[in-house]
Structure 1
Amino acid sequence: MRPFVLAVHGSSLPTAAATLERLCDAVERLGGIRPVLGHLDHQSPSLAEALSESAVVVPLLLGDGYHRTVDIPAVVEGHGMDCVLTPGLSGEPAIAVALRDRLREAEERAGVRADAVVLAAAGSSRPGGNDGALVAARQLRALLPGVPVRTAYCSAAKPGVPEAVARLRAAGHGRVAVATHLLAPGRFTLALAGAGADAVSAPIADHAEVGRLVLHRYEVAHVPAVSPLLPEPA
């Protein structure tokens, strides 16, 4: 089998590393291969250090901003080792399912059922960089009939998350929750705790649907001429 590398942003928070370890555990249980993490920042090994001959590289990113479209391709192409770079996770229905499930968990912890939701994405200033968040919000809206879902950003784009929460409250919504469109704990997830919402969901990297999606990306790139071992994630 070709080596499997997950290109991740990286975080100095220990909880981020633990979340990604749970993802790798899930992928290994499902597919019998354990991904190697290659970090863009904060941690080792770096993506360049994690690459090996003929590796399949799956960007563990929810958007198509600078990291996905510039940073990661530059490292992979510059390595010259016949590596294959797959698409990221942007816009996949499996992401919306994970968001819905994490949102329900947060509501249960808080003892509320939201009558409005803010989908909180990292944010990008690049053209198309926020498309994944917009698609995820539309898909999540379909999974939450009758509940408005508004998209907001932690950086680089407007509106910010506290502003979006405040707008929904001003419109008469009394129970506003944040659906965290982020993969692992970091400075953005820490900031969401102060956004003024009644419930804030956890990141989604260690959700089962994300593990299945990541493995599906690898399998399609590994054996492109045959059907993947797993069905398309929900």
Structure 2
Amino acid sequence: MSGTSRAARGSQPPLVLLAHGSRYPARYPPLARTVQQVRTALPRVEVRSGYVDLQEPGPEAALEGLTGPVVLPFFLARGYHVLHDVPAAVHRHGSGTVTTHLGSDSQVVTVVAQRLDQAARHLGGTEALDHVVLGAAGSRNRAALAEVEAVSARLSQLLGLPVTTAYLSASGPSVAQAVRSARLRGAARVGVATYLLAQGRFHQALGTTGADIVADPVGGHPGLAEVVARRYLQAVDRQQPGTTPSLPLYPSVLPALAGLSARHPQA
């Protein structure tokens, strides 16, 4: 847990993923899977994880002993934890760089689409759907809601289907309302694309909305590890312009990520 581990890994900045946490830790294995996938992709980087709420280790423990870590908020939307809790933890630690959260990255949208296609496979894939509802947690933060709307627009373009944005809390319309509205407009088959990272009460609630299919959360998909690895490399390049530890130092980055996605396209 000391700075010696950084030296042993080629003096590259360590990477710390900070997630929300759950009252039911067994339901949050996606973070552990992503951490393992990133370690495979970036074998010379020390990768840790922690939680800003509800679970241990907390941010202080996750950052303990690290010098100049790259910290990635493992969140889909730009809410309070992303804007305040994660930067505050890095400030208290005394050193480090905070990257952009997962957000509306095009790779995240692709993962959402792949999860939906997997759920619709017994129907013949997403081509069998008439309408898609993007089910998100919800927020009172306008920037967070704008991000979710951006994901909906990109998802609609990717799938070639109409997509309605809906929420499980704090915002409207509700997912159930969006499903009913789609059916009233003539949609026979409605699928819910899940904009959540993990199983839990929100995902369980999606199963009661009247949709024909509900996709799994996006957490644990190798595509998220690709986003994390890319954000890390970009952050290191900003810290040390022209010295990005990409292919020369990390020859396994692209092959490892491609291999993970090829072996587990819907993992």
What is the TM-score when the length of structure 2 is the normalising length?
A: 0.81
How do 1:74-93 residues align onto structure 2 when only pairs under 5 Å count? 74-80=88-94, 82-93=95-106
Q: Is the 8 A contact 2:29 2:220 kept in 1?
A: no
Secondary structure of 1:211 counterpart = helix
Shift in alpha-carbon separation, 1:34–1:21, aligned structure 2, 3 A: farther
Report what 2:132 is aligned to: 117
Gaps of 5+ in 2: 1-11, 247-252, 259-267
Q: List per-residue Cα deviations over 1:121-177 (Å, max 9, x = no partner).
A: 1111012121221111111111111x1100011111111111111111111111101
Q: Is the 8 A contact 1:25 1:34 kept in 2?
A: no
CA distance in 2, matches of 1:187, 1:67: 19
Gaps of 5+ in 1: none
> Quick one: which amino acid aligns to residue 55 of structure 1?
P
Q: Which residue among 107, 121, 136 is the counterpart of 1:94?
A: 107
Report what 1:130 is aligned to: 145
How do 1:54-69 residues align onto structure 2 when only pairs under 5 Å count? 54-69=68-83
Q: List per-residue Cα deviations over 1:186-207 (Å, max 9, x = no partner).
A: 2211211111111111111211
How do 1:1-16 residues align onto structure 2 when only pairs under 5 Å count? 1-16=12-27
Aligned length, in residue pairs: 230
Q: Which residue among 213, 232, 239 is the counterpart of 1:199?
A: 213
Report what 2:40 is aligned to: 29
Q: List per-residue Cα deviations over 1:59-94 (Å, max 9, x = no partner).
A: 1111111111122112221221x1110111112100
Report what 2:197 is aligned to: 183
Larger radius of gyration: 2
Q: Percent identity?
A: 36
Report what 2:51 is aligned to: 39
CA distance in 2, matches of 1:40, 1:110: 39
Q: List per-residue Cα deviations over 1:90-131 (Å, max 9, x = no partner).
A: 121001100110000001156672210000111110121212
Q: Which has the higher helix share?
A: 2
> Quick one: which amino acid aligns to residue 151 of structure 2?
A
Report what 2:186 is aligned to: 172
Q: Which moved more, 1:99-108 or 1:52-61?
A: 52-61
CA distance in 2, matches of 1:192, 1:13: 18
Q: Is the 8 A contact 1:13 1:185 kept in 2?
A: no
Report what 2:155 is aligned to: 140
Moved over 6 A (4+): none
Report what 1:222 is aligned to: 236
Deviation of residue 17 (structure 1)? 2.9
Shift in alpha-carbon separation, 1:14–1:66, aligned structure 2, 3 A: closer
CA distance in 2, matches of 1:72, 1:20: 16
Q: Is the 8 A contact 1:64 1:131 kept in 2?
A: no
CA distance in 2, matches of 1:35, 1:122: 27
What is the TM-score when the length of structure 1 is the normalising length?
A: 0.91
Q: Is the 8 A contact 2:25 2:55 kept in 1?
A: no
> Quick one: which amino acid aligns to residue 186 of structure 1?
G
